[in-house]
A and B are shown apart, each in its own frame.
Chain A
Amino acid sequence: MLLVYCPHCDVERAETEFSCRGQAHIARPSDPSQTSDEDWVNYLYVRANTKGVYAERWRHIHGCGRFFNAVRDTVSDKFLKFYKAGESMPDLEALAKEAGK
């Protein structure tokens, strides 16, 4: 069971308090009517299946209820960073490099 940090509550808690909601930083197109079919389908269904460093969405569902993002190495399950929803995506390559040291 993973140990997850909630940046809203500033606590580390067991994974059972959280729910993972898949890849982060997939924004809903701002003007759907002007979005092509292909782009809309990409928004709906197409997700990376990264082996390695990956930004994903989490919700502290049995805690504060708020969404945040985490960068996790999908190979080792190590979390490299936690940040609130709305903050920009960190430099994943730099994080990977940092973790590899």
Chain B
Amino acid sequence: MSQPFRTEKGGRIERAEQLTFTFDGEEMHGHKGDTLASALLANGVHLVGRSFKYHRPRGILTAGSEEPNALVGIYRNGDQTPNMRATQVELYQGLEATSQNRFPSLGFDIGAVNDRLSMFFPAGFYYKTFMWPKSFWDKVYEPVIRSAAGLGKPPKNPDHDFYGNMYAHCDVLVAGSGPAGLAAALAAAETGAKVILCDEQAEFGGSLLSEVNASVDGKSPTEWTGEAIAKLDAMDNVTLLTRTTAFGYFAHNYVALVERVTEHLSSPDPKLPRERLWQVRAKEVVIASGAIERPMVFPENDRPGILLAEAGRTYLNRYGVKVGHKVVVATACDTAWQAAFDLADHGVEVAAIVDMRETPPESLLSIAKARGIRVEAGCVVTGTLGRKRVKSALIGRLMTSGKVASGGQIDCDALLMSGGWTPTVSLYSQSRGKVVWNADMGAYVPGKSVQKERSTGGAKGLYGLQATLEDGYAAGEEAAKAAIGKSAKITHAASSGGEAGEGGTLGALPHDRNAAKVKAFVDYQNDVTAKDVKLAVREGMQSIEHIKRYTTTGMATDQGRLSNMNALQIASGALEKPVTDVGLTTFRQPYTPTTFGVFAGVARGDFFDPVRKTPSHDWVVKHGGVFEDVGQWKRTWYFPKNGEDMHAAVARECKTVRDNVGLFDASTLGKIEVVGPDAAEFLERMYTNPWKKLAPGRCRYGLLLNDAGFITDDGVIGRLAEDRFHVTTTTGGAPNVFATMEDYLQTEWPDLDVWITSTTEQYAVAAVQGPKAREVIAPFIEGIDLSNEAFPHMSVKEATFCGVPCRLFRISFTGELGFEINVSRQHGKMMWETLAKEIEKHNGTTYGTETMHVLRAEKGYIIVGQDTDGTVTPQDAGMTWAIGKKKLDFVGKRGLDRPDLVAENRKQFVGLFTKDPQVKLEEGAQVTSAENPSTGTPAEGHVTSSYFSPALGRNIALAIVKNGHALDGKTLYVPMPDGSIPVEITGPVFYDKQGARINV
């Protein structure tokens, strides 16, 4: 199929290799080396999308990553990636692209009515219109706005690609490979410094790739680039990364790159990631991000067929594509003239060069004359015609009065424009450097370096091929010297041609049109016009930050790289303040839109968060146990038998434990080994309880506070020897307890001779609880007399279980006779399976966390973090018994004496009975003194735990309630949406209040 806008020859495409692709289902052809944008233009397609707000037809504007209009969806593997910039999408065989934000089709779009109604959509429209009534927001306004405005549709399926991650260290990172970046990389590499050179494009070379009117060392710019890259590629100290965007410059020279690995391939190797995140720590950075051309802000400057001049030149020289057959070039600077000349040399009719300057340089005028190109100097484009493609340009003559006189109409099928150049200071700005205004250039350029970086070439407003090369060499030499202290001699390339130009313009251009009726776009992607910026100022926005948010100018995915300078100039005019007083918004990361996938990397699915399993895990899976997530742990929740629901299973498990025996996996409990001559002294200082007199072989419940006096953790601590303690913590609290212990030990009491080691993962723990617990474990334990007299409640001893060493605790979290057996983790499975088999003989059961919770609640044992919330003291919890009264100090002791902690009316830990035993309270429900409290009544407290108690045959609850300890027997209320529930305050111990069952 023909490509009517393809040149006869030239460009870097491989003409012998034809590729087929589709756009909105229509089959077209291009070549290897094309981008989707260049291939579409070769086929004469300019209209590629509808704009965000007004649904105006939009075409390709640029040839780079700053493209605001040509956002397309790319189909692959049955799903679609939205908002891909066609200027960056490399063509491959079978590529499927689709336009966005149009319905039903790109050519006929219902949303385009927004353009006619645009008087109703001024800046700040959303803020003004959708204020009232509030209830309309989520039901009416938001759905309507969402369906009418927007870009691509998000993909429907989980991302089928995967993403890689690389850490890299280098001496010199060079971002950008135009003449400055290449020269910098060559100079730095010569010193032996470790260099990374990255470029967002498919090929290195930047502007050199589209330069045909210059030579470097007597070679064409592309030839010289090829040789320079080959030289760098052969050096071991250089890493070359194409298709790699430096998108974020962070603290301490940490620069994030994203490498697009497979997106450009027709059938990529499935072993390769789609993209790769490079986390680079560079000793020195060279920012060679170049400059981009500014659009001119004239009415209807957004029609398809209107492109930036240098983009037109790039499509011609690099891709062999003519943007039109009859082209108008509108400019205020020299560089755009070269685009006209190059087009003319390829046989394109240049209808006119319209230059705002009264007297463009004589050198340019003579070249134009030689080619027979009409020049309209002192003129400006005041509008364009054509619905889906520009048809003609309206010309105005700039009068000395400042007014514009009509200068007629010039027919064309494409219009190239250039308002001058803007240095790309995004990376510099991200490095926290402050840009400074350069009045001569009419541009913000990098100021002082804050981090170890320097900008070079176009990125700092330096133009012209030779000057850029020289500056690049100097930057590379300086960076290498700073990084590794070495210099090296390198022959600098000598170039001719590619001179820097003069001129440029900023802001909205004058015209003779009805200002109320025309739209001159400043920010294409967000549909912000010059009028919008002026309106924002009229409505009181003074700061550029406010203007930005009110109009959304500069808030598109290019972050205002194209629009900021024009918007700033317009705001400056409207505010009657110099540009420098208006300020500039900050460029933030990422430089270009970056996928979530590359940030997530491998941390998704099974790798999102580690899963911690206990040794009983496989057995539980096999036996149909139900798991719950407790932090990263998988804990067994309950063990349903014969189709039981949770309630039935838990009731059975509870009853079996109280009647016979139960087996519970307690391996997740935190464990810390505290060892050393000062171990007892250390625990004495950390925990509320006394430890020094605890005899080896004995355990004690330990309560841990913070220095504010509030409960933070608890657990049983066993003394194995004079200098050795086995500390247990809550499942969730283990890391914090360990870190807190380390903190006090290292920074407050470095004099103590103590080592602490986290041993949570070292032990598997089986809890055997119930009247028959002793009989269950007895056959397997050797080395301990298990009788109540020899091994009473709260004992600990080292022994063996089935011949392997164990630490046996006689402790109970159920109120029944209980043992906890700790064996080395590798024997955990054996222990579990042995005991699970044994309990069968005693009509026992395995039980899960829910039964554990019910049994402990029946006994009124708190769970830190459930029954406490970080504001509960031992007094509040009714646990003053746990405080060593004679101790002079422990963590939290002084805090407990603070006025607020000893004040009246504190919330205290109590039990609750619902008046109706069948009613179960909701955990978290508020407790009030009034039956039907009016709105705004403060609660007296809240329900912390609530269960059906099989032992009591009724529902029970735990709560913290203001002055709760004094309210025993009183009635309070738990107001719920369908009625208030009366509750009676009781003590928190519901079952076996004397604790007789433990001591059997």
The contact string, 1 if C-beta is below 8 Å from chain B, for chain A 29-59, is 1011101010011011000000000000101
B75 partner residues in chain A, CB cutoff 8 A = none
B707 partner residues in chain A, CB cutoff 8 A = 28, 43-44
10 contacts between A and B (CB under 8 A): A1-B251, A1-B254, A2-B254, A21-B743, A31-B889, A33-B894, A59-B739, A67-B743, A76-B450, A77-B251
The contact string, 1 if C-beta is below 8 Å from chain B, for chain A 54-88, is 00010101000111000000001100000001100
A26 to B894, CA, bound (A): 16
* CB pair A65 B251 closer than 8 Å: no
* CB pair A2 B708 closer than 8 Å: no
* CB pair B432 A3 closer than 8 Å: no
Scan residues 246-260 of chain B and give those whose CB is less than 8 A from a CB of chain A: 250-254
A77 partner residues in chain B, CB cutoff 8 A = 251-252
A14 to B253, CA, bound (A): 12
- Verify if B895 is at the interface (C-beta below 8 Å from A): yes
CB distance from A46 to the nearest CB of B (A): 13
* Closest 9 A/B residue pairs (Cβ): A32-B894, A3-B252, A77-B251, A67-B746, A1-B254, A85-B747, A28-B748, A67-B747, A2-B252
* CB pair B742 A65 closer than 8 Å: yes
Closest-by-CB residue of A relative to B744 is A28
- Verify if B750 is at the interface (C-beta below 8 Å from A): yes
* CB pair B895 A44 closer than 8 Å: yes
CB distance from A6 to the nearest CB of B (A): 13
Scan residues 230-264 of chain B and give those whose CB is less than 8 A from a CB of chain A: 250-254
B743 partner residues in chain A, CB cutoff 8 A = 21, 59, 67
A29 to B707, CA, bound (A): 11
A57 to B742, CA, bound (A): 13
Scan residues 739-780 of chain B and give those whose CB is less than 8 A from a CB of chain A: 739, 742-743, 746-748, 750
Scan residues 435-469 of chain B and give those whose CB is less than 8 A from a CB of chain A: 450
* CB pair A3 B747 closer than 8 Å: no
A21 to B707, CA, bound (A): 16
CB distance from B821 to the nearest CB of A (A): 30
Q: Which of A32, A57, A76 contacts B432 (CB 8 A)?
A: A76
A1 to B251, CA, bound (A): 6
A14 partner residues in chain B, CB cutoff 8 A = 254, 281
- Verify if B898 is at the interface (C-beta below 8 Å from A): yes
* CB pair A1 B893 closer than 8 Å: no
- Verify if B888 is at the interface (C-beta below 8 Å from A): yes
CB distance from B428 to the nearest CB of A (A): 15
Interface centre among A21, A43, A44 (most CB of B within 10 A): A44
* CB pair A40 B750 closer than 8 Å: no
* CB pair A86 B750 closer than 8 Å: yes
- Verify if B133 is at the interface (C-beta below 8 Å from A): no
Closest-by-CB residue of B relative to A1 is B254
A14 to B169, CA, bound (A): 12
CB distance from B759 to the nearest CB of A (A): 15
* Given A3-B281, A33-B894, A61-B739: A85 in contact with B746 (beta carbons within 8 A): yes
Scan residues 315-338 of chain B and give those whose CB is less than 8 A from a CB of chain A: none
Closest-by-CB residue of B relative to A44 is B708
CB distance from A59 to the nearest CB of B (A): 8
* CB pair A41 B898 closer than 8 Å: yes
A78 to B894, CA, bound (A): 37
Closest-by-CB residue of B relative to A85 is B747
B750 partner residues in chain A, CB cutoff 8 A = 85-86
Closest-by-CB residue of B relative to A28 is B748
Closest-by-CB residue of A relative to B738 is A65
A3 to B282, CA, bound (A): 11
A31 to B388, CA, bound (A): 82
The contact string, 1 if C-beta is below 8 Å from chain A, for chain B 550-578, is 00000000000000000000000000000
* CB pair B898 A40 closer than 8 Å: yes
Interface centre among B746, B747, B750 (most CB of A within 10 A): B747
Closest-by-CB residue of A relative to B889 is A32
* CB pair B895 A40 closer than 8 Å: yes
CB distance from A61 to the nearest CB of B (A): 7
Interface centre among A31, A32, A40 (most CB of B within 10 A): A32
B253 partner residues in chain A, CB cutoff 8 A = 3
The contact string, 1 if C-beta is below 8 Å from chain A, for chain B 280-297, is 010000000000000000
A41 to B707, CA, bound (A): 10
A3 partner residues in chain B, CB cutoff 8 A = 252-254, 281
A32 to B253, CA, bound (A): 45
CB distance from B165 to the nearest CB of A (A): 13
Closest-by-CB residue of A relative to B742 is A65
- Verify if B78 is at the interface (C-beta below 8 Å from A): no
A44 to B891, CA, bound (A): 12
- Verify if B899 is at the interface (C-beta below 8 Å from A): yes
Q: Which of B432, B708, B748, B898 contacts A37 (CB 8 A)?
A: B898
CB distance from A73 to the nearest CB of B (A): 11
* CB pair A37 B899 closer than 8 Å: yes
CB distance from B451 to the nearest CB of A (A): 9
CB distance from A94 to the nearest CB of B (A): 22
* CB pair A2 B251 closer than 8 Å: yes
A57 to B743, CA, bound (A): 10
Scan residues 697-750 of chain B and give those whose CB is less than 8 A from a CB of chain A: 707-708, 739, 742-743, 746-748, 750
Closest-by-CB residue of B relative to A4 is B252
B739 partner residues in chain A, CB cutoff 8 A = 59, 61
A92 to B746, CA, bound (A): 23
